[in-house]
Structure 1
Amino acid sequence: MTGTLFTLTFAVAAPFWALMILLPHWSWTARIISSPLIVLPVLVIYALLVLPALGEVLPAVLSPTLDGVRDLLGTADGAAAAWAHLIAFDLFAGRWAWLDSRERGVPALIMAPVLVLTILLGPLGLAGYLGIRTRWVRPTAAAARAPQRLG
């Protein structure tokens, strides 16, 4: 069952990545991606992997040591759970970046490689987006900074 859940983890997240990368201007993409519940399928898989092994997982995360975490991740269940953890958080971070980029008007052609980087190397993709987003100011923030004229 662990192997199946491992394989299923990315399969349930991939359609959301495809929408953000390949169909960023489709009206349904915004409707779907605006819901934080898009990560729910991956979270269910994570729960299925972690909850039965909570007795082994809790000690490793409550008082982490390099050896303890290595031993936990060195098992099929631990690796599959870590994979689900990574996929869930990468998807959530990618979702945030995509939504923020839409508000700021960041071109989809710039976001596509950032989102691919987020899929592959989550924190580096997030860092890339945090650097890129500084070039585009949110319309509401720009309006708030504009000098107001009286009269």
Structure 2
Amino acid sequence: MTVAFNWTFLIAAPFWALMIFLPAWRWTRRVLASPWVPLLPLLVYFPIALAHFGELWRVVSTPDLAELQAFLAQPYGAATIWAHLIAFDLFLGRWMYFDGQARGIRPLIMSPILVLTIFLSPFGIVAFLAVRSASVRRPEASLTA
């Protein structure tokens, strides 16, 4: 499970690096244009989640703190939830990247917000939405990405 846990972030890291360090590079936009990018960490999630599906389903379908704690205490439980978080954060970061570009939010503002999103996505999304609400949308901008 340690290998699966470690691979989850390693799969996502190159995409975060592109958005943070090379946001204006044409290949960044091309690579991230694929809607499959945020799903790549799920390559780790699905095998583990399917192997422990009964327990995972019980934990998410009838939320109970003790049950969740017990699930997360297992290496497979922590690896499953970690992969879920990494995939969701990448989905969120990708959306923020494209929306920020469409709104003309400068990379010097977006990059720290994306870093914050990697580590603490609730803080990152609040920061992004605050900046987003203060920005003016470019008329030619498209959110089709």
TM-score normalised by length of structure 2 = 0.93
Runs ≥4 residues deviating over 6 A? none
**Match in the other structure for 1:126:** 125
Percent of aligned pairs with the same amino acid: 47
Alpha-carbon distance in 2 for matches of 1:31, 1:127: 27
**Match in the other structure for 2:7:** 8
**Match in the other structure for 2:114:** 115
User: Can you list the C-alpha shifts for 1:37-61, whole angstroms capped at 9, x where unaligned?
Assistant: 1122201111011000011111111
Alpha-carbon distance in 2 for matches of 1:75, 1:35: 33
**Match in the other structure for 2:54:** 55
**Match in the other structure for 1:17:** 16
Alpha-carbon distance in 2 for matches of 1:38, 1:140: 27
Alpha-carbon distance in 1 for matches of 2:137, 2:128: 14
More helix by share: 1
Q: Secondary structure at the match of 1:140?
A: coil
Alpha-carbon distance in 2 for matches of 1:42, 1:59: 23
**Match in the other structure for 2:87:** 88
Alpha-carbon distance in 2 for matches of 1:40, 1:141: 28
User: Can you list the C-alpha shifts for 1:60-109, whole angstroms capped at 9, x where unaligned?
Assistant: 11101011111111110000111101100111001000000000000000
Point out where structure 1 has 5 or more consecutive residues left out of the alignment. Answer: 143-151
Residue 9 of structure 1: how far off its partner (Å): 0.3
Tell me the amino acid that sits aligned with residue 101 of structure 1: G
Alpha-carbon distance in 2 for matches of 1:128, 1:36: 24
Alpha-carbon distance in 1 for matches of 2:39, 2:119: 20
Q: Secondary structure at the match of 2:63?
A: coil
Residue 141 of structure 1: how far off its partner (Å): 9.0
**Match in the other structure for 1:104:** 103
Give the aligned length: 141
Alpha-carbon distance in 2 for matches of 1:55, 1:113: 39
Point out where structure 2 has 5 or more consecutive residues left out of the alignment. Answer: none
**Match in the other structure for 1:33:** 32
Residue 140 of structure 1: how far off its partner (Å): 3.0
Q: Secondary structure at the match of 2:45?
A: helix
